[in-house]
Each structure stands twice: as C-alpha cells, then as structure tokens.
Structure 1
Amino acid sequence: MDFLRIDDLTPDQLRAVLARAESVRRDPSAVSGRLAGRSVGLFFQKPSTRTRVSTELASAQLGAIPVVLGQQEVGFGSREAVKDVAGVLDRYLDVIAMRVFKHTDLVEVAEHAQAPVINLLSDVEHPCQALADLQTIAEERPMAGTTLAYVGDGNNVVHSLMVGAAMMEMKVRIATPAGYEPDPEYVAKAESFGDVFVTNDAEDAVRGADVVYTDVWASMGQENEAGERNRVFSPYRVDLALFEQAAEDAIFLHCLPAHRGSEVTDAVVDHVRSRVLDQAENRLHTFKALLLHLFE
C-alpha cells in the first residue's frame, strides 16, 4: 500500500499505527533491527530538519539502509521524467519516501512503482506529521471526544490533521482568515468521519479547546506572499491571551519550524503546556511504526 494521504489508512489501521508508535516510544529496542536488509529511499525536493533526521534515523534503527537523495542528484521532472525515476528507484528500493512540491508527482511515482510510496510532505498533505500530532495528543488524553482547535492557514498540514483527527473521533475546529480556509474537499472528507467546524473567528475556535495548534503563515514557495499574509493573519496569532481561552489543561502544538512573534509568541511556544518537542520526537516513533505497518 501507499501512504500519500492520511486516509490511506482506515481508522482501525490508524489506531494500530499510533498504538505501535507508542509501544516503540516506550521500548525502542523491541523493534531494533526488525527491517534488516531492507532499503528505504528518502527523496527531498524541499529542505528539511525534522523529516530528514527522523526518517533517516528511524530507518537505520530498524536495521534498514536509508538512501538519501536530493533534487540535485535526481533531477526529478527536469533531467529525467518522473515515471523513469519511479521505475529506476523501484528496482533498487523497498520503500520510496518523498518530500515534494507537487502532490501529483507523488501520485505519478506511485503509479509507476511497485514499492510502497510515502508522502513526506506535498502541497496537498503532510500525513506523516499528522501521525506525530495524533500520537502527541494521545499521550495526553483519550482522542475520542477531545476538541482540537487549529488557527492559521488552511494548508497541507491542516488537511491531514483535520481528517486524521476526525477519524479518531475528535471534535475539530478550524479558524482561518476569509479566503484561506482548507480545501472544501478536505472539509467534506473530515466531516464524513466526524464533527468539524470551520470559522473565521479564532476565539470561537479556541474557546474551551483541549488542543491548540498553529503553523507558519507562509510555507516554502510562498515567500513572495509573506508580507500580505503577515497582514491578513495577524489577528490569528496564538498569543497567551488566545491560548488562555482554551481549556485550563489545554496543550499547544506546532509542527515547527515556528516563526516566533508571527503565528505564535514565545510565551506560548515555551509554555509549560507546550508539547512541540514531544511532537517533533514523535516523528521518529511514528515513522518507525508506519514502516513496520507497511512491511508486516
């Protein structure tokens, strides 16, 4: 199977992967070397810190051989046709994991490769991040019935997050400026699994929430829009006043890197109830669990 979208897993499979990730977190040695002799291709068209380190380390700790490639080596879609790259990598690798600009490129690779293809980030989804997000929430409280408030841009991160959270029976609240809402297709998909509410009022979304999540206002490739986005999104900054509208024991999440002073203030990122470092750590455990799921 491929993992291009969060709902490529069924709700039961998603629960199983998250449970496995928690088991791996508690006892990493139990799965050490489990994928000895396997090869995991890691292609990065975009630069990365957490994704690069967590996926390479996860592969190695499971005993697999991580093969890291960048755009300069591959010439993906420029020096060589996507389907040719897919065919060649398929002959070498047991898994092809890719961080790309265009989701359609991932789909094309999956069409021309027999090996499982994993989305490490595209312009449409970031499902591996959602796995880590959900594990982090599950460490704090039962997911079913938990209220998640996301404030900011309706981007690839929120697409995977909202669907995954709804699959886990969470109540999802999304607040964005007008015109920056999540793709209606993803809203409808999330609604098919559970309780989803989209608004342009940040306080309305955050009030009483158990989890408050935000992300950068301008993603990679949107640098030329940064000035306008900073103006439009400034009322959606997660500062202490907004965070305190949430439940008394609410936690704060951010997939990082955080632009401190833009989408979130230092007081929130560094808050005693911030879980951003746990969230980053869980990228490692969830990727291990995903690889084990694909091979077992």
Structure 2
Amino acid sequence: MKRDFLNLTDLSRQEILDLIKRTATLKKERSENIPHPVLQGKSLGMIFRKNSTRTRISFEVGMFELGGHALYLTDEQLQLKRGETIEDSARVLSRYLHGIMIRNDDFEEARLLAEHADIPIINGLTDKNHPVQVLCDLFTLQEKLGRVENFCIAYVGDGNNMTYSWMEAASLFDFQLNIATPPECTTPGTKDFSHLKNVSFFTSADDAVKGADVIYADVWVSMGMEAEQDKKMQLLQPFQINQKLLDQANPGALVMHCLPAHRGDEITGDVLDGPQSVVFDQAENRLHAQKALLEMLLS
C-alpha cells in the first residue's frame, strides 16, 4: 500500500525516530564514500511550481546517490498550465514514475495529487506546511542536542507554513514550542493545535526566547506574498534575531534558519555566521533526511 508524506503527522512518532536513525547511517556512509543504491531503477518526478535551491538539489542528488533518477518538471514542461487537471496528471504520471515530490502554493493541489496517484506523493512545500524541512530539523536537533524532546524552541517572525509544521512536530514530541509573531502575522491553522499544552504564543520576541534552547527564523515575506512586503517589513522589525535577542535565550542556544536568509532583516549576519548557528549543517541535512524518507516511501 502506497504512503504519502503531505504532513509530518502522516508519520508516527516511532517512524520519525526510525528515519532519524536511518538518516544518521546514510550521512555516515556518504562521508565514508560507501554507496547505498537502494532505489536503483526508481524514478522520482519533481513538480516545481515554486522555485527552490535546497529542495531541488537535495532531492535530485539524493535520488542519484540512492541509485535512482529524478526528473525536474515545471509548468512549462507539463500540461497543467494548459488546463490538464491535477487528477488526470496524477493518473498518467503514476504509470511512469515511482514517486512524485511537489512544491507549490496550494496544499489542496498536493492533496488531490495524492488522492488520485497510485504512487507516493511528497510535499516539498506548500502554503500550509513544510514537513520535509521539519523532518530534517528534527534530525539536526538530534545531532546537535542528542535528543528530539525535552528542550524549548522559540520560533520568531512571521506566522507561516513553517510554524504550522513545527506545531505538527509538537503534537508528536514532548518539547516546548514558543511562537512569537506580531498580532497581524498570526500562525495559520492554530485552531488545529489549540489542544496542545506544549505550544505557547507570544507577541514579544523577548518573552518567547526566555529559556529557549533553540531560536528558529524564517523569511519575513514568503514566496507569493510579495504584495504584503512593505507591511510585513514594518511589523516584523522587533522580531529580528540579533545578538541582543540571542543573549536572552539559554547560554549556547542554537540558531536555526530554513533558508534562504535575508541578512539584516529576519536575522543579522553576525548571528547567522556565529558560533551558535547550525544553519548550514541544517541545510546539508536536507539531503540526508530526504534520502531516508525516499528510501522508506519508494523502496
């Protein structure tokens, strides 16, 4: 029976722990030049309706290193732009491919793709959530802290798809999640997680980072939201992650950012490049964690 990965909660807590363990193995094998062609003969279609650096390269290289093949597909290369339905596209692509990763603006489109495809569908980012990123981040926290529970993470900035996926993670694992956003930039889907006692909301970045072991940033203006740029840039100025804010967290608190970063906006360059930043290790780990996910879903 095929499995899709549209939400982090499509996996159980134990399955995520197993993937974290497998990610560590794949990362170690790669560092030792040990091949692992477990998806030899398999093909992954990658539908990009939103551009990306990390998502495209990490999935494409990941499939290559697993012995498979990845196809980069844009609107210009598919008939979706000319009116072919996502349902028909799902049925056709299922006859050619072994899995599809989709990165787009519309979670409902990804859901329809999964509903009508006979092969696994992976959410590479939608307007609702970004589960592959948080899966990778959990591995990074295991790598850096030695655990994925019993810590406090403060997300500071715009309420967006990343905050939704972090709330999904908080529903599976026992850590404290503090979300600091301006009242006008509240996190979408908070009602879905209103029952969680380990998620708290703040309108002050200073209050949110007190006692935090991790501070997390994302861009202030997501792709497709450029019309709100001027408004958000003004509202989010007090939510910049800088050394002054970092000093209010626990000593040695980690700094994470899912990238791309706009230095001087949501995070200062000295913090991004500083000794507490794990941002570029985090970016690398997209490759390793997604390889573990691909192996699980496509093998």
**Common fold by TM > 0.5:** yes
How big is each residue's C-alpha offset from its partner over 1:45-87, in whole Å with a ceiling of 9 and x where there is no partner?
1111000000000001000111110111114264311111111
Report the secondary structure of 2:179's partner residue: strand
Name the aligned partner's letter for residue 160 of structure 2: N
Amino acid at match of 1:170: F
**What secondary structure is seen at the aligned counterpart in 1 of 2:80?**
coil
User: Separation in 2 of the partners of 1:24 and 1:103?
Assistant: 30
Q: Work out which of the residue numbers 23, 26, 29 in structure 1 matches 2:25.
A: 23
Counterpart contact for 2:37–2:66, Cα < 8 Å = yes
CA displacement, residues 145-190 of structure 1 (integer Å, 9 cap, x when unaligned): 111100011101111123214422211111000032222234337x
Matched, 1:188 2:194: yes
Alignment of 1:234-273 (within 5 A): 234-273=237-276
1:159·1:186 contact (CA, 8 Å) conserved in 2?
no
1:78 and 1:148 map into 2 onto residues whose CA distance is: 44
Cα pair distance change 1:237/1:14, threshold 3 Å: same
Which whole-Å CA distance do the structure 2 matches of 1:198 and 1:166 have between them? 15
For residue 46 of structure 1, the aligned residue among 42, 47, 50 is: 50
Q: What SS is found at the alignment partner of 2:184?
A: coil
Residue segments in structure 1 that go unaligned for 5+ positions in a row:
none
Task: Say whether residues 1:204 and 2:197 are aligned partners.
Answer: no
Question: 2: distance between equivalents of 1:95 and 1:171?
Answer: 34
Within a 5 Å distance, the mapping from 1:107-256 to structure 2 comes to 107-141=111-145, 142-182=147-187, 183-188=189-194, 191=196, 195-256=198-259
Q: Distance in 1 between matches of 2:264 and 2:123?
A: 30
Structure 2 counterpart SS, 1:148:
strand
C-alpha distance in 1 between matches for 2:35 and 2:81: 36
What pairs up with 1:91-102 in 2 under 5 angstroms?
91-102=95-106
| 62 and 217 in structure 1: CA distance in 2 versus 1, 3 angstrom threshold | same
SS at match of 2:194: helix
Aligned length in residues = 293
> SS of the counterpart of 1:179?
helix
Q: Percent of pairs identical after alignment? A: 39
- Paired with 1:76 and 1:188, the residues of 2 have a C-alpha distance of 37
Residue range with higher mean Cα deviation, 132-141 or 1-10: 132-141
> Separation in 2 of the partners of 1:170 and 1:31?
35
Counterpart CA distance in 2 for 1:254 and 1:170 is 18
What is the identity, as a one-letter code, of the residue corresponding to 2:20? L
Q: For the Cα contact (< 8 Å) 1:163–1:186, is it kept in 2?
A: no
Which residue of structure 2 lines up, in the alignment, with residue 63 of structure 1?
A: 67
Q: One-letter code of the match for 2:183?
A: A
Aligned partners of 1:38, 1:70: CA distance in 2, in Å?
A: 20
Match of 1:3 among 2, 5, 10: 5
Distance 2:193 2:186 in 1: 9
User: Aligned-pair distance for 1:89?
Assistant: 0.7
Runs ≥4 residues deviating over 4 A? none
- Deviation, 1:208, is 1.8
Superposition RMSD in Å: 1.4
Residue 13 of structure 1 is matched in structure 2 by 15
The separation in 2 between residues aligned to 1:78 and 1:176, in whole angstroms, is 39
